[in-house]
Each structure stands twice: as structure tokens, then as C-alpha cells.
Structure 1
Amino acid sequence: MVIAADVSNRSLADLYSLAGRVAVVTGGGRGIGVAIASRLAEAGAAVAVADIDESTAEHTTAKLTAGGATAMPVTMDVTSPRSTRAAVEAIRAELGEIDILVNNAGLLAVPAPYDEILDEDFDRTMAVNVRGALNVSRVVAPLMVAAERRGVIINMASTATYRYPNPGTLVYTTSKQAVNAITKGLAVELGPAGIRVLDIAPTVVETPGLADLRERSRAKAAEAGRTVELGNPDAFRHLPLGRIAVPDDIARVVAFAASDAAILMTGSTLAVDAGSMVVR
């Protein structure tokens, strides 16, 4: 049985359009999530901005609706099945069945040598980055299957999925490699239902969260008499494309992955890395 349709006879404008579709963006109230929600809305999707911080979800939603988009804020703790189920039911009640899920919510752990990793930091990072992606997917995917939506799940991985980026990033790297495993597993299990599952692997992205982590890392390193280069834009000027990413670099690729232009893609990773995996 052929599951993925042949869309050769459709125009590019039609293939890239998300009109009539419902998208959920976790961690949608800040950073990369705001850019993703904005681009999906621009492509025509109705967007649920899901975030553990209600105020940021409402702020992003207000920006989208002011621009004419259909959007709603929803409070969601991705680590909690109860919170996730309640949020998803609220989304379905207001916007309809879900076609696109972007598991963007994540944490950047403060770098630490392997023998200084705190159990609570490890557990929290894995809970949000790994269990969170799986938790939301296993709530939404069965609904996609039941509604025959032939949906798309997009997970936020990292270039750390394929290499060890910097000393002290063991926890973060472990979490993102686990996300990649979830993507591959879900792609195999959900493919027969017509649901595609993809990873996006950004290089370092300039966000408020990165700026905060950069400062915390510097403070921690200074206490130990070390220096850090975490997320320092100057450290990336040698890359083939010469800079780190901004949120919209990632959002544009997510919009493509969610569209029918990518209808024969599943289980793979789209790197948005400025060439970092070639030269580092």
C-alpha cells in the first residue's frame, strides 16, 4: 500500500500552504518557539501556543492574532501527562483536530564536567527534553491516527545529536541524542498511519535563553578559575556560513518540514547548522 501521496501535480504555493491545519508548538511562548509559531501562522495554520508560562503563551498569541492569525494560548507542562492531556483537549475543543506537533520545549543545562553533574540537573534536563517530547507525542499521535489526519511531528534535536560540541555538555548532548532516537522510533511506528516524524538540528541559536545561560556559565566558570566560550558568536565566525543561528532560521525549516513539500520525508534530521558539522 502506498501511504505517501504523489504530489507532483500540485503547485509549490499549494504544497507550502498550511491553510486549514492546526499546529501545536510547545515552548511557544519564547525564543525559537515564538518564531516557529509565527511562521506556521503565516503559512496559514491555526496555532496553539503551548508553554508552561501562561503569560508568555498569551503574549505570543496576542502578537499572532494582531497580525490576523488564528491562535490560542494554552498552559502545558510537557513533563506532566495530566497537564498535557488537559491542554490537548482544550486545543481540540477550540481549534479542532491537531495536524502538526512541534516539540520545541527544552532546557539548556549549565555546562559541568562529568564529575560535577548534579542529579537534579540531569533529571530535569532529561524530563523536559526527552520525556517531554515523548509524552506530548504519545498524547497527540493516537488522536492523529484516530482522526486520520496524516499529521507531522517535529522534534527539536541539535547538532549535538551527531557530535560532542563542547566539554561540559554531556547532559545536554545525551538528551538530544535521545530525542533523535525517539524521532526514528516514532517514524517507524507511525509511518503506516501516514504520520511523518522529523528532527530539526540547529547549531547554537541566539535567544534570550542562550544569553542567560551564557552569563550563568561564565559565572560558574569564573568560580572554578576557568573560561567558557558557550554560545559566543565570535567562536563561530570560522563556519562556512559565518554565524550562529537566529530563531527564524529554524522556524523557516520547521515550516517546510510541516508542509506537503516534505511529504516523503520521515525519520530524518534537517540540520540548520551553518556548516558546523562539516568543519567541527
Structure 2
Amino acid sequence: MVPTIQSVNSVVEVGIGNERLWWSKEGGQICAALVDHYGRDVSGSALGESADPAGLRSRLRRVAPGLSALCDRIRAAFDDEMAAAVLVPALGLAGVEVDQARKAVFALAALLGDPSANDPFEHVVWDVRNHGEQRSGHTSFSENDHKADYHTDNGAFAVPERFFLLYAVQAASCGGGVSILRDIRVVKQQLELTPQGRAVVRVLTETRLPKRIPQALHTRALVAADGYQYTPVFADLPMVRWRTHGLYRGLADRPDYDTVEVRAALDTVRDLLENGGEELRRVIPTDGLLLVNNHIALHGRSAFTDPARHLLRLRFHEPSA
């Protein structure tokens, strides 16, 4: 019998429905809850990790029932429908001042999980746009207008954040900046169709490959004494760790790992990601929200030229008790 690819819910769309006015009704209480929690009025761009994320989540659920209901539907799409990504076409923040939007999406993330800082920085909300000469040098995909190749986020961590979100303050008018996604469950099914592909899955599951971890990330990273991380591409948690440049650079740095078998396996996956079928392409419209399960989805984006394109990005772990 010829193996076939089984259908999965890679992207689930969640409409906002009756919660569309949640910010106008609940924004004041949300901002007040953040002031109380942090002990001062913190700008959205400066919000850091919470010392008590469960307490903040409980407070937000009390003061923001509309946003909480939307978050429950998003969570159900991930947990019940096993989505790799969830798209909310209109979040209800159109026209809201940018720093208020930062606080709004921070609150949404805090209801869904525990927001994490963008290492090596302390703030949680990151502005995704072309920063030009003002780039920090640490998050190039978020700070320039180039194409972003397929990758997973924060693979340096022992357990990377399960989720990240992108909120479009202003979508690109040039037709670029399209989000691209691949569900690793589908990618592995594609590989399992042939003996060669099954060998690729075996090699990249059984072989721990070296990746050099920048010194700035060593505080939280899963890193050996030599400054490298040794992890397989495919595992159970997360199901995939992939960053093309880092993997190939690791082989260049440590040629003892650069075997014919490993090189062929990486080349096969890279070619499938770049040229294979089942690629998911989504435009996040202005006021749209895309949430991605970072443990099972690879993501990237097309290049763009519109200097007004502006997204907000947050990463967050599963909620603490």
C-alpha cells in the first residue's frame, strides 16, 4: 500500500464575533491591572516578564471577560483542533494608539500563557519592522525587510516557548511580508513516503547536531561547556528545532559531525522546505493576529519594501499553575 499524507488542521481561523468591542469596554481595566501588577505605569514597549504570571492571568480574567472568551476559543483551536497556527483576521484594535496595542496584545498573551522576554533584552513586546541603521544586531529577521528563511524560535532554550504571536499594526502595502508556515507533522509525513525520506527522519532524530550559541544567550540556553548546543532536529518536545544558518554553521565549526549521511539529511529537508508542496502562506491583514505553535511549526516570511509595515511580536510559554 502506498503511504498517503493524513489531513491535519494546520491553520484554524477564529473570528472575533461578539467580542469585537473588547478593548473599548475592557481596555481601561486591563491597563489598570497592569499598573497594579507592576507597581507603576509601564509603557507597552517596556513591559517585562511577570514575577507572578498566574496571578496576573487571574486578575485579567476577572476584568476582561470579552478578551478571556476570545482567548478560550484560541486555546481550544490549539488544544482541541490541534492547530499549528491560529489566525484572527481582525482583533478589534484598529485605530488604537500603538503603545496601547502593545499592552492589549501583551494582555492577550498573558491570558494564554507566560510571556517571555526577548533575550538578551528584558522587554517582552518586540516591534517587527525595518529598523534600518537602528538595528540592535540580535534579531535580524525582526529588524530588516529581507526574506526570513524557515526557522523555529528560541531553539537555544532547553524547552523553547510553545507559542508566539504576530499582530499587524500596519500590513505591508507592497504585497510583501507574507507569513509562510510549514507544519512539521506534514513535513515528516512527506518524508515518510519514501525509504530515503524515512532515513532522513531517522538520522535527524537520532543525531545530536552542534549549534553555536551566542554568549548573550547563555544565561537561559541549553548549552554545553564548549559553548555549543547538541540537539536533534526532530524530537518529541519540541517536535522540531530548525535554523538553516545555525545548523550548517555548526557542521562547518565541527567537521567531525559533518558526515555524508547528516549532510544529505539536512539538504533533503532544506530542499523540501524551499520547494516542496503543502506550504502555507498567510497575509496578516492590518489589525490581524497570527498565533503559531512554535513546537510543531516552522515559519518565515517573504521580503517587503513598504517602510510602514509594522508588526508586534510576543513569545510565551505554557501557562504556569
What TM-score do the two structures reach when normalised by structure 2?
0.26
Flag the structure with higher helix content.
1
The one of the two structures with greater contact order (alpha-carbon pairs below 8 A, sep at least 6) is: 2
Flag the structure with higher strand content.
2
The higher radius of gyration belongs to: 2
